[in-house]
Amino acid sequence: MRRALLALLFFAMALSGEGAGAPSPAAFSRVPVRGELVTYFTFALWAPGEQLLLVNHPRAGQLVPLQRDGQLQKPLQPLTWEEGNPMFANAMGYDEKGPFVLYRDAFFHTVRELRFDAQGRIVSNESWERRFDGSQVQLACPRHTPVRFAGEVFCFATVRESETKVRQGLVRYPETPGARLTFLREHQGNSVERTMAWDFPLLAATSQGVFLLDFSTEPPSVLHLAPASRRLASFPPGFQRPPEIPPGLGGPDAAEAFQEGLEATPVPLGLFSAAGKLLILTRTPLGKDRARWELHRLDPAQDRLEGVLELPTTAPKVLVVPGSKRWAFLELGPAGPPVGARKLLGLLEAPAATLAAPWPAAPGAGSKQQGAAKKP
């Protein structure tokens, strides 16, 4: 009888989470992908209801629906693909209306905002030509995943101020129409900061404000951008900036050199938020075409590391798709050919509650991890 009661108590604790430790690998599900998709994976997002993923396919200007069971659907071609001036997705995000995708043309004269229903069908296609104050800029388009805080948008963006002047960098602007942009940082050339900002999710927002995974320091760090600016002392130890691109390289050669340096270095590759905390995604190389992927939880209010969760995959690249109900992790194969293109291999999924549950303690959890000296 006593053994039966203990068993019942243990079962009840497991269901409630009381006394539970780290999330079990069983909290993650994995399905192989059925169908084939080879592209430059930059971002994906959940359609309304979080039963369908929309995966960016920039090689063809398409969005490819991916079901939770791993089945790829017929690609969507939201806008006409013209070889001379193709339209492609430049950013994805969420606001009070739901998920959206921003398309722009190669010559940067057009920006369109697309919205979708739960089945991935386009329900809205609007121009951004008058989104900003015309006396300041002709056109602006966010890159990757914008974040919102206190009525403002923070993002990396391309900004056309005139027919002959285009700037790129980190900006902020009010959510209201006719907004004026403020540059927080401007990017020049093929710097590590620009390359990482263009290809990885480096911004996250919590109730505490907006945060940046900052590659202007060595080692990288987390910068509290708004409402006040301060650099957090806490950061997972042992991770570095990617190597600089060798001088004189450009185009595919520069991209290939940067990718090789990136994959040979233990690096942070993304910043996310969940349940009021920050999650830092890191990649540690394990040999050819294999890597260890971890999420490190950081409490920004207390400026301390709280735990680390190893993802159950050793894929060479992982694309993280946060959601309010569930998170997706797309497993991608080795790079190339062509340079940078990868094949979609598998789909990992975890309930959002897993990201809020207790994790294994990080090394020195509760203390502020200090790395090498950081540049101011």
Task: Give the separation between CA 242 and CA 249, rounded to whole angstroms.
Answer: 16
Q: How do residues 59-103 score in pLDDT, each as one tens digit?
A: 899 999 999 999 999 999 999 888 889 999 999 999 999 999 999
Cβ pair 201, 208 in contact under 8 A: no
* Mean pLDDT rounded to a whole number for the chain: 88
Q: Is 287 exposed, middle or buried (0-12, 13-18, 19+ CB in 10 A)?
A: exposed
Q: How do residues 349-369 score in pLDDT, each as one tens digit?
A: 999 998 888 887 766 565 555
So what's the pLDDT on residue 369?
Answer: 56
Query: How far is CA 107 from each of CA 58, 88, 139, 280, rounded to the nearest angstrom?
Result: 15, 11, 12, 34
Q: Give me the residue spans of the domains in the chain.
A: 27-128, 129-186, 189-316+353-363
Q: Is 212 exposed, middle or buried (0-12, 13-18, 19+ CB in 10 A)?
A: buried
Bridge partner residues of 100 (DSSP): 93, 115
Tell me, what DSSP letter sits at residue 271? E
Q: Is the pLDDT of residue 16 over 60?
A: no
Q: Is 171 exposed, middle or buried (0-12, 13-18, 19+ CB in 10 A)?
A: buried
Q: Is the pLDDT of residue 319 over 50?
A: yes
Contacts of 98 (CB under 8 A, 6+ apart): 48, 115
Whether the model clears a pTM of 0.95, i.e. scores above it, the answer is: no
Closest Cα partner for 81 from 108, 59, 56? 59
Q: Is the pLDDT of residue 236 over 50?
A: yes
So what's the pLDDT on residue 313?
Answer: 97
| For residues 313-340, average pLDDT | 93
Q: Is the pLDDT of residue 49 over 50?
A: yes
Query: How far is CA 123 from each of CA 57, 65, 113, 256, rounded to the nearest angstrom?
Result: 20, 15, 11, 38
